[in-house]
Amino acid sequence: MLYRNLAEILGERIEQGLYRPGDRLPSVRVLSQEHGVSLSTVQQAYRELEDEGLVEPRPKSGYFVPHSRQRPALPMVGRTAQRPVDVSQWDQVLELVNTPAQADLVQLGRGIPDIDAPTLKPLLRSLSRLSRRQGLRELSYGSLAGEVLLREQVARLALDSGCQIAPDDLIITTGCHEALSAALRAICQPGDIVAVDSPSFHGVMQALKGFGLKALELPTDPLTGINLEALEMALEQWPIKAIQLTPTCNNPLGYVMPETNRRALLELAQRYDLAIIEDDIYGDLAYRYPRPRTIKSFDEDGRVLLCSSFSKTLVPGLRIGWIAPGRYLQRVLHMKYMSTGMSAQLPQLALAEFIGEGQYQPHLRRMRSQYARGRERMTAWVSQHFPATARVSQPQGGFMLWVEMPQGFDSQRLNRLLAPHKVQIAPGSIFSAAGKYRNCLRMNFATAMTADLEWAVRQVGQTVGELLSTTPSSEAP
Amino acid sequence: MLYRNLAEILGERIEQGLYRPGDRLPSVRVLSQEHGVSLSTVQQAYRELEDEGLVEPRPKSGYFVPHSRQRPALPMVGRTAQRPVDVSQWDQVLELVNTPAQADLVQLGRGIPDIDAPTLKPLLRSLSRLSRRQGLRELSYGSLAGEVLLREQVARLALDSGCQIAPDDLIITTGCHEALSAALRAICQPGDIVAVDSPSFHGVMQALKGFGLKALELPTDPLTGINLEALEMALEQWPIKAIQLTPTCNNPLGYVMPETNRRALLELAQRYDLAIIEDDIYGDLAYRYPRPRTIKSFDEDGRVLLCSSFSKTLVPGLRIGWIAPGRYLQRVLHMKYMSTGMSAQLPQLALAEFIGEGQYQPHLRRMRSQYARGRERMTAWVSQHFPATARVSQPQGGFMLWVEMPQGFDSQRLNRLLAPHKVQIAPGSIFSAAGKYRNCLRMNFATAMTADLEWAVRQVGQTVGELLSTTPSSEAP
C-alpha cells in the first residue's frame, strides 16, 4: 500500500498549510523521483487525496489545493476560568438523547458513527455466529473485569497509541459512559472540583451533576486544547481533584492536543497530585496515521485513567467500553460492581473475534478517510450556506463540526425552528457546565455525504440566517 | 391442568403445617370426591407432590408427609437496630464475584439460577434469530428508557404481582444492579441513612458504600421479614431517607413478607415520608402461585421504586433489568444516563419476543417446582450432613438456603478450607453492612440435584463440623 503512505504524507503537508489553497502541487514525475515509487503509485495517491477533497485536478495543469480549503475563521477561545460551578442543562441533553429514531429525521445532533460501512459486516457475522453457537452456559454471569479474550485484544490495540497495558490492567465496561462515570466516582467525593475542557462532552457534565461534583471549565483553544497556563492558575486557586478531558479528536471541537502539551499537562498533574481522566473514545479516528499517543502512554505513576469504547469506532449498540484505571484499578472495579455488576459476555466475545481476525484496522482506515472527506464537504457547505459570521472548527479526527455564531444567537431556539423541517442539531449549551455556548451548535458528518445531508445543512444555515436577522447580536455595532 | 391446581392446594396445606410430618394425607378417593375431579387427576397431583419431596407414598397405606419435613430450627432473629454504619466487606464480595468459572468447582456461593432448563431454549433461538436478522441499524443507540416492545411486556407481566404499570412508567436497566443503584442515587445524598433488611443483598450494601451512604440494619424475622416496630423506633430516632428491602423470596433468607406487613410498611413510609426501594428480582420464583403482590401494587403516591430483572428468573448474562420508579422517574432516568447511557437493544428485543410468545410462564412453572424440590433436598442434606447446631432458613421461593451456625463460627475460614475440595459457599458476613453473620453461610440449590451436589453439601457439612470442633463457641457451656 505504497500509495496510501504517499497520500498520507501529502495530506499531512496540506493539512499543515505547507501548500496553501490555490497552490499547484508537485507533479507526478517529481514525486515519483522524490519518493522512489512508480508513476502509477503517485497517480493512485492523488486519486485518494482527490476523494478526500484535499486536492483538485485541473486538466493539463496537474493537481492543486482547492480554494474551498480556504477555511472559515476558527471559533474564539473560551473565556477564562472563573469559578467551579454546578452543572445544569439536563433538560436539553434529555431532549437530544431521548429523541426516538425517526426514518424521516436528519439527525445531525447525536454522536452516532456511520454504521452502514461494509467493513462492519464481519462484526454482524461474528455476533450471529456466536449467538447460534452459544449455549445457555454463556448466558451466566461472566467475570467482573470482563472477558479476558477481549481484554487481550484491547491491550494489543492500545499499543497503537503508545500504551503498554496488560489485560489485567483493564476493566470492560458498559460503554465509555460507565468507564467515565466509574472513574469520576473512584476519585472524587461529592463537592469536589473537577477541571474540564470547555466545550466538553455532555455525558461527563451530567455525571458531574449527578455525583454532586463541581465543574471548573478551562479556557480551551480550538486547535490545541486546554490552556495550561490557565490550568496552572486554577490549580493554585482551587483544590482541584481531577482533570477530565478528551485530548485526541476532541468532542466537540475535534482538535488534537499537541504532544508537548500532553507531557506538560502530565507534569502539572504530578506536581499538584491530580488524577487525569482521559477520554479517548474518538482517538482511533484521528485522520492522520499513526494516531497520536495518549497521555496515558507517558504516565509513569498510574495517575491517568484511560477511558474508551467501540461506540464511535464501530457501533454504539454493543455497549462495550473499557477503562485502564492505573493505580485506581481496585476502586474502579468496585464502582463497576456497584453500577452494573457484570457486562454481557456475547458482545465482548464478538468484538474479540472481530479484532482478532484483523477486521478492526481495515475498518478504521476506511472510516478515517471517509470522515476526513466528510469534514471537507461539511465545512464547504457551512461556508456556502451559513451567514458569513459563522466560525467553524477544524477537526483533526472524528465526525463532528462545531459552528460558532455571534453572541446572542440561540441554538436551542434554532432547534425548535428546525423541528418542522425534520432536522436536529446539538445545541452548544449542553457542552458547558454553566450553559455557555448557547450561540454554538454541533453537527455530525459521519454518514456518507448525500444530497439529503446537504439539503439539511442548507436548511440549518438558512434558519440560522433568519434567526440572526431577528436577534440582536452583541457583536453588532 | 386440574392436577396442578390440586397439587398446589395440597402443597400449600403441607407448607402451612396443616398436615405434620408423619401424617397420613387424604386418600385419592376422598380428594376426588372433595374436589370433583377424577381419580387419575388426584394421582397425578400426588405424583407431582412426590417429585417435589412434599409427600411420600407407602405401599398399600397411601400418601404421607415425610419425616424429613421435620424442619431444622430457624435462624435466630437478627439483633436489634443499633446505629447507622458505613459498609465494609468489599474484599469478601470481590472474592465471591470474581472467582472465574471453573469446570471442576461446585459453586454453591453465587446467585446463579439453573441455566440448563430446556424451557430457556426458545430464548436462545430468539437471540440467534434476531442476531441473524439484525442489520447495522439495530446497533446504533436505542432509546434511553429502553425498547418499548420490552417495556410493554414487562408492564404486562407486572399485572401478576398486582401492579398497574404503563410502559412509560418503566426504565430498562443493565441488570437489577443498575436499577437498585440508580434508585439509591436518585433519592439519597452522601451521608444519608438507608434502612435495610438484615441479612441483605451484598450488591446493595456495596452500592451504599460506594455512594457514601450509611446502612441501618433492621432486625429481620426469618419468616416474615423486617420488624416493623423496630423500624418505627428507628424512624423516630434517625433521619432515614429510604428503606431498601427484598420482601418477596428474600435474598438470602427466602421469606415472603406477609401482605398485612407490606401494607403497614407502606403506611409507615407515608407517615415518615420515606421512599421504598423494593427489590423483586426473585419475586416471580415464589413457590406458591399466584405469586405475592408487590409493595408497589399498594402504592398510591409513587413512593415505591420497584426494581427487578430477568437474571434470576431466566439468565443473568443478558444484563437486562428494569425499574418502575414512580414519582422519581425523571431523576432515575438521569442516573441511568449518567451510569451507562443506553442499554443494548438486541437482548431487549429477544426478551420481548420470548415473553410475547408466551414462553415466560411455562419456564417459571418449571423453575418454581424444581426450586421447591431443591429446597426440600438441600434442607434434608443439611439436616443429615451438618452438625445438629445448624439452623436453617425455610425459603418460600428462589434457590438459596441460609444456614446459621453458633456464634464464633467463621464462614470465611470455612471457604478457605473448602477451596482445595473445589467447593465454594457465600460467607454470611457479606450480607451485612457491618460484617455481622460471620457464623452464617448461603448455599445455592438452583441446579438439578445431582450426586455431585450432595457430595459438595456433605463436604461443607463435614468441614463445618471440623471447624466447630476446633472453634470456641459462645453458645458452648
The neighbour count for residue A436, using CB atoms within 10 Å, is 18
Q: How far is A258 from chain B (nearest CA, A)?
A: 30
Q: Which of residues 62-91 of B touch A (CB under 8 A)?
A: 90
Note the helical H segments in A277-344: 329-340
Q: For residue B400, with 0-12 CB atoms within 10 Å meaning exposed, 13-18 middle and 19 or more buried, which class applies?
A: buried
Whether the pLDDT of residue B311 is over 60: the answer is yes
| Shortest CA distance from B140: residue in chain A | A317
CA–CA gap between residue A108 and residue A454 (Å, rounded): 11
| Shortest CA distance from A180: residue in chain B | B339
The DSSP secondary structure of A136-187, one letter per residue, reads: GGGGS---TT--HHHHHHHHHHHGGGT----GGG-EEESHHHHHHHHHHHHH
The neighbour count for residue A388, using CB atoms within 10 Å, is 8
| Contact at CB, B178 and A136, closer than 8 angstroms | no
Q: A236 CB contacts (<8 Å, ≥6 apart)?
A: none
- Print the SS3 string covering A4-61: HHHHHHHHHHHHCCCCCCCCECCCHHHHHHHHCCCHHHHHHHHHHHHHCCCCEEECCC
| Shortest CA distance from B94: residue in chain A | A334
Q: What is the pLDDT along chain A (477 residues), one digit of tens a residue?
A: 688 888 888 887 877 677 888 889 999 999 999 888 999 999 999 988 887 778 889 988 899 988 766 678 888 866 655 788 888 878 888 888 877 777 788 889 999 999 888 999 999 888 888 887 777 767 777 889 999 999 999 999 999 999 999 999 999 999 999 999 999 999 999 999 999 999 999 999 899 988 899 999 999 999 999 999 999 999 999 999 999 999 999 999 999 999 999 999 999 999 999 999 999 999 999 998 889 999 999 999 999 999 999 999 999 989 999 999 999 999 999 999 988 888 888 899 999 999 999 999 999 999 998 999 899 889 999 999 999 999 999 999 999 999 999 999 999 999 999 999 999 999 999 999 888 999 999 999 998 767 789 999 999 999 999 999 886 655 443
pLDDT the model gives residue B440 = 96
pLDDT the model gives residue A477 = 38
Confidence category of residue B449, pLDDT binned at 50, 70, 90: low
Cell numbers given for A57: 485536478
Instruction: Report, as an integer, the average pLDDT of B322-340.
Output: 94
When computed from its CA atoms, the radius of gyration of chain A, rounded to whole angstroms, is: 22
pLDDT digits (tens, 9 = 90+) for A360-369: 999 999 999 8
> Contacts of residue B178 in chain A, CB cutoff 8 Å?
339-340
Instruction: Report, as an integer, the average pLDDT of B299-321.
Output: 95
Which amino acid is present at B181?
Answer: S
Q: Which parts of A280-369 are beta strand (E)?
A: 304-309, 321-324
B238 dihedral zone (left: phi>0; alpha: psi -120 to 50; beta): beta
CATH superfamily of B90-116+362-468: Aspartate Aminotransferase, domain 1 (3.90.1150.10)
CA–CA gap between residue B348 and residue B354 (Å, rounded): 10
The neighbour count for residue A469, using CB atoms within 10 Å, is 8
pLDDT the model gives residue A475 = 46
Write down the residue that cell numbers 390440586 correspond to. Answer: B6
| Shortest CA distance from B337: residue in chain A | A203
Angstrom distances, CA of residue B380 to CA of B65, B403, B454:
14, 12, 10
* Phi, psi (degrees; rounded to nearest 5) at B10: -65, -45
Lowest-pLDDT range, A340-349, B9-18, B33-42?
B9-18
Could you tell me the fold of the domain covering A1-65?
Answer: Arc Repressor Mutant, subunit A (1.10.10)
| Contact at CB, A142 and B317, closer than 8 angstroms | yes
pLDDT the model gives residue B21 = 81
Q: How far is B474 from chain A (nearest CA, A)?
A: 34
User: Could you tell me the sign of the dihedral formed by the alpha carbons of A210, A211, A212, A216, in that order?
Assistant: negative
| Contact at CB, B190 and A212, closer than 8 angstroms | yes
Confidence category of residue B68, pLDDT binned at 50, 70, 90: low
Domain residues of chain B, as ranges? Answer: 1-65, 90-116+362-468, 121-360
Write down the residue that cell numbers 477520554 correspond to. Answer: A279
Class of the CATH domain delimited by B121-360: alpha beta
| Shortest CA distance from A134: residue in chain B | B124
Whether the pLDDT of residue B233 is over 50: the answer is yes
pLDDT the model gives residue A81 = 52
Q: Which of B397, B388, B420, B433 is nearest to B282 (CA)?
A: B397
Q: Cis bond leading into B325, ω under 30°?
A: no
Angstrom distances, CA of residue B330 to CA of A411, A412, B306, B357:
24, 21, 15, 31
Who has greater pLDDT, A325 or B472? A325
Residues facing residue A20 across a β-bridge: none
Q: Which of A205, A194, A247 is nearest to A223 (CA)?
A: A247
Whether the pLDDT of residue B476 is over 50: the answer is no
Mean pLDDT over each residue of chain B, to the nearest integer = 90
B171 in Cβ contact with B146 (< 8 Å): yes
> Contacts of residue B143 in chain A, CB cutoff 8 Å?
98, 100-101
First to last CA, chain A: 55
Q: Which of residues 317-336 of B touch A (CB under 8 A)?
A: 317-319, 333-335
B165 in Cβ contact with B308 (< 8 Å): no
Whether the pLDDT of residue B474 is over 70: the answer is no
pLDDT the model gives residue A78 = 63
Instruction: Report, as an integer, the average pLDDT of B339-343.
Output: 87
Is the Cβ of A192 closer than 8 Å to some Cβ of chain B?
A: no
pLDDT the model gives residue A449 = 66
Nearest beta carbon to residue B317 from set A139, A174, A177: A139
Q: pTM of the predicted model, to two decimals?
A: 0.86
Cell numbers given for A37: 515509487
Is the Cβ of A177 closer than 8 Å to some Cβ of chain B?
A: yes
Is the Cβ of B122 closer than 8 Å to some Cβ of chain A?
A: no
First to last CA, chain B: 55
Q: What is the dihedral of CA B147, B188, A327, A240, to 10 degrees?
A: 110
Nearest beta carbon to residue B124 from set A134, A175, A206: A134
Q: How far is B192 from chain A (nearest CA, A)?
A: 13
CA atoms within 13 A of residue B172's CA, in its CB half-sphere: 30
Confidence category of residue B225, pLDDT binned at 50, 70, 90: very high
Who has greater pLDDT, A70 or B383? B383
Q: What share of chain A is helix, strand, coil (3-state, %, to 5)?
A: 45, 15, 40
| Shortest CA distance from A347: residue in chain B | B344
pLDDT the model gives residue B471 = 65
CA–CA gap between residue A16 and residue A10 (Å, rounded): 10
pLDDT the model gives residue A42 = 93
Which residue in A337, A349, A354 has the most chain B C-beta atoms within 10 A of its own C-beta, making it the best mutation to test that interface?
Answer: A337
Whether the pLDDT of residue B34 is over 90: the answer is no
Q: Which of residues 398-417 of A touch B (CB under 8 A)?
A: none
> Contacts of residue B144 in chain A, CB cutoff 8 Å?
94, 97-98
The DSSP secondary structure of B401-417, one letter per residue, reads: EEEE--TT--HHHHHHH
Q: How far is A63 from chain B (nearest CA, A)?
A: 38
Is the Cβ of A105 closer than 8 Å to some Cβ of chain B?
A: no
pLDDT digits (tens, 9 = 90+) for B112-151: 999 888 999 999 888 888 887 777 777 777 889 999 999 9
SS3 for B176?
Answer: helix
Note the helical H segments in B307-359: 329-339, 345-356
Nearest beta carbon to residue A319 from set B94, B110, B340: B340
| Contact at CB, A94 and B206, closer than 8 angstroms | no
| Contact at CB, B344 and A178, closer than 8 angstroms | no
Nearest beta carbon to residue A315 from set B120, B140, B206: B140
Q: What is the dihedral of CA A428, A430, A431, A434, to 10 degrees?
A: 100
Tally C-beta pairs within 8 A across A and B: 208
pLDDT the model gives residue A378 = 93
| Shortest CA distance from B180: residue in chain A | A339
Which amino acid is present at A182?
Answer: A
Q: What is the dihedral of CA A212, A214, A220, A226, to 10 degrees?
A: -90
Is the Cβ of B140 closer than 8 Å to some Cβ of chain A?
A: yes
* Phi, psi (degrees; rounded to nearest 5) at A403: -120, 130
| Contact at CB, A144 and B98, closer than 8 angstroms | yes
Nearest beta carbon to residue A137 from set B115, B144, B335: B115
* Phi, psi (degrees; rounded to nearest 5) at A354: -60, -45
Confidence category of residue B49, pLDDT binned at 50, 70, 90: confident
The percentage of chain B sitting over the pLDDT mark of 70, rounded to a whole number, equals 95
CB burial readout B88-103, b (16+ within 10 A) else e:
bbbebbbbbbebeeee
Complex confidence, ipTM: 0.82
pLDDT digits (tens, 9 = 90+) for B150-162: 999 999 999 999 9
| Contact at CB, B317 and A144, closer than 8 angstroms | no
Put the strands of the sheet holding B426-427 in their side by side order.
Answer: B391-392, B400-404, B440-444, B426-427
pLDDT the model gives residue B336 = 92
Q: Which of B243, B280, B291, B261 is nearest to B396 (CA)?
A: B291
Q: How far is A100 from chain B (nearest CA, A)?
A: 6
Instruction: Report, as an integer, the average pLDDT of B341-368.
Output: 93
| Contact at CB, B136 and A120, closer than 8 angstroms | yes
pLDDT digits (tens, 9 = 90+) for B162-211: 999 999 999 999 999 999 999 999 999 999 999 999 999 999 989 998 88
Nearest beta carbon to residue A115 from set B110, B136, B343: B136
Is the Cβ of A100 closer than 8 Å to some Cβ of chain B?
A: yes
Lowest-pLDDT range, A448-452, B247-251, B420-424?
A448-452
Which residue in B144, B188, B334, B337 has the most chain A C-beta atoms within 10 A of its own C-beta, making it the best mutation to test that interface?
Answer: B337
Q: How far is A385 from chain B (nearest CA, A)?
A: 29
Q: How far is A3 from chain B (nearest CA, A)?
A: 31
Is the Cβ of B424 closer than 8 Å to some Cβ of chain A?
A: no
| Contact at CB, A141 and B97, closer than 8 angstroms | yes
| Contact at CB, B139 and A316, closer than 8 angstroms | yes
Lowest-pLDDT range, A247-261, B72-86, B290-304?
B72-86
Who has greater pLDDT, B258 or B101? B258
